[in-house]
Amino acid sequence: MVVPSRQDKAKMRVAERLHHILFSIRWGGHALISLYISVLSGLIVGLQYNATEPFYSTATIELIVPFGSFWRSLHYCSSQAFMLLLLVHLAFILWQNASSPAYNFTRGTWLRLSASVPVALFLLFTGYILRGDATGEAAGAIAENILLAVPLLGSLLNKLLFDGSVAGVQKVYLNHLIGLMVVGGFCVWPHLRRYTASWRNHLPLALLLLLISPVLKTPLERDHFGLLHINGPWFFLGLQELLRYISVFWAGIFVPATFVGALLLLPSEGAARRRTLWFMGAWLALYIVLSVIGFHRG
């Protein structure tokens, strides 16, 4: 039997302490509070938004509407915080329960709950499109081409979600404001009934978002004639880079579907669960590499 050295014991204590600190943070509660702030600020911004002239409307909110820059920045910051904290919350839940789940979710409940992640990503993505700037237009065009590549249902899905050549961003606006919010609420409702978040427990996060919003410049890019490459949203960079190497169907539909499918159908226990988690980890590692390449390309 090997007896750990004093140095090894010290490292183990540090690791245990770090583990305790990380798992004691209310990641899910932070995500929920960020979502509340995002929804409230989004409603204020949405009242000033005109979907028929997206870029002009966004610029007007930024430059002319009283406190418009603050509310837009707060909506942007809280939305990004919600997405990042949601992903961290999910990662810690899966890490903590790598072999078997600690929470007795039924298969239907897990399907609804895990589906909230792609819904939240799509909700954030539509927010980029609504800016109407160079990034938003490029992201919207790529998304439409991906949807049109879906066998049989591509045209129908595009008309339902985007249809940019006919409706501009009006359908995107309605889906962002109503449709996706309803779907997301349906996905997380069983979880919200069980776990709530109090503002008093998350005041530092709320204050941080309120403090950085007045000083953080929210992105709004003008058209650049002759520009051959525009970086999309940070979570879209890997997919955008993958589109350079393989066809739209494989890069935009099949590859993302493998990860989403693995998450939705994650086995409840045993070796199959561990193998699925290893696959998801490898998928994410490759996606991060592609995202870094895509970021430096821009």
How much is the pTM? 0.90
pLDDT tier at 186, thresholds 50, 70, 90: very high
pLDDT of 99: 53
Distance CA 149, CA 129 (A): 20
Tokens encoding 110: 């897990």
CA dihedral of 248, 249, 251, 252, whole degrees rounded to 10? 90
| 6 against 266, higher pLDDT | 266
Q: Note whether 261 and 243 are within 8 A (CB).
A: no
Q: Is pLDDT at 1 greater than 60 in this prediction?
A: no
Dump pLDDT digits (tens) for 68-127: 999 999 999 999 999 999 999 999 888 877 655 556 677 888 899 999 999 999 999 999
Dump pLDDT digits (tens) for 127-166: 999 998 888 888 899 999 999 999 999 999 999 999 877 7
Dump pLDDT digits (tens) for 228-255: 668 889 999 999 999 999 999 999 999 9
pLDDT of 164: 78
Q: Is pLDDT at 8 greater than 80 in this prediction?
A: no
Dump pLDDT digits (tens) for 273-295: 889 999 999 999 999 999 999 99
pLDDT tier at 261, thresholds 50, 70, 90: very high
| pLDDT, average across residues 263-280 | 89
pLDDT of 81: 97
| pLDDT, average across residues 159-180 | 88
Tokens encoding 77: 């910051």
Distance CA 196, CA 53 (A): 38
Distance CA 30, CA 204 (A): 10
pLDDT tier at 220, thresholds 50, 70, 90: confident
Q: Note whether 100 and 269 are within 8 A (CB).
A: yes
Query: What Cα–Cα distance (Å) separates residue 264 from each residue in 112, 257, 282?
Result: 8, 10, 17
**DSSP state, 249?**
I
Dump pLDDT digits (tens) for 22-61: 778 889 999 999 999 999 999 999 999 999 999 999 999 9
pLDDT of 134: 86
Distance CA 56, CA 49 (A): 9
